[in-house]
Amino acid sequence: MQGFPMDAAADQRFDVNLSILFTELPLLERPAAAAAAGFTAVELWWPWVDSPTPGASALDGLRKAIEDAGVDLVGLNLYAGRLPGPDRGALSVPGEESARFRANIDVAADFARSLGCTALNALYGNRVDGVDPAEQDELALENLVSAARTAHRVGAALLVETLNRAESPHYPLVSAPAGIAVVDRVNEATGLGNAKFLMDLYHLSMNGEDLPSVIDRYAARTGHVQIADNPGRGAPGTGSLPLADLLGRLRKQGYEGWVGLEYKPGDRPSAEAFGWLPAEARAAR
């Protein structure tokens, strides 16, 4: 595996997504495993896929695991259905799913605040057969506005993420401009300015976008970055994306936020999937 140049790594703040890495371990063991691998920050998809409002014991258990591991939670998805799986968000899906999203907003925001997490990610949701897309977009805006206001209450940004057509053919936000347009609509509606773009370089590359151009245009409006190599969604160096160059370009454009490692470890334990990153570059400074 190609190593990540130390001079490039030294300029970044990396965190580990515990919903795609270390998944061979029970949820409550993953924060300590990330710490043992040298990381000081983690992020998560909403971990209770069947429950937007888990009981206090579940929330307290995860909070304690994160605190005991000595890592910071720097990003948390709002309820989005089954991830990984066929669901791609809930907030634009009429009926029970959007109601579950709304029920989750305060629960997720308060959990995030209790751990000092300042980024909440809202996946838009798939198109639904027989439902007017305009109706879904109206519902989405209503729910995103509510989420942005709650995020503001706890001192957090609300992130809007684009996915890719090949893996999420029914998800409507499959380009950087589409994601930015939603960010703009939310900020216009709330006047808070805390909606930000989640720039996932893997998804954008899968859509064939010009990544340097995306970075130059949207770095200033980006609240979080996620990476995986392409093809394969593996660790940097397993594919052909010039991730060191792209992250360097982001820094030159003023981005100083977190870079989430959201890749598949392959046929090995997750702890062995970080050989590309010098040990001294894993702890955020």
Catalytic residues: 161, 262
Which CA distances in Å does 209 have to 91, 162, 201, 253, 255?
26, 12, 9, 18, 19
What's the topology of domain 6-281? TIM Barrel (3.20.20)
Sequence spans of domains, the chain: 6-281
- String of DSSP letters for 43-62: EE--S-TT-SS--HHHHHHH
Hunting for tokens 């003023």 — which residue is that? 254
pLDDT by residue for the chain (285 residues), tens only, comes to 566 776 777 789 999 999 999 999 999 999 999 999 999 999 999 999 999 999 999 999 999 999 999 999 999 999 999 877 778 899 999 999 999 999 999 999 999 999 999 999 999 999 999 999 999 999 999 999 999 999 999 999 999 999 999 999 999 999 999 999 999 999 999 999 999 999 999 999 999 999 999 999 999 999 999 999 999 999 999 999 999 999 999 999 999 999 999 999 999 999 999 999 999 899 986
Pair of tokens at residue 266: 């392959």
DSSP H or E stretch at residue 64: helix 56-69
Q: Compute the 3-state secondary structure of the chain and give helix, strand, coil in percent, each to the nearest 5.
A: 40, 15, 45
- Residues making up the chain, counted from first to last: 285
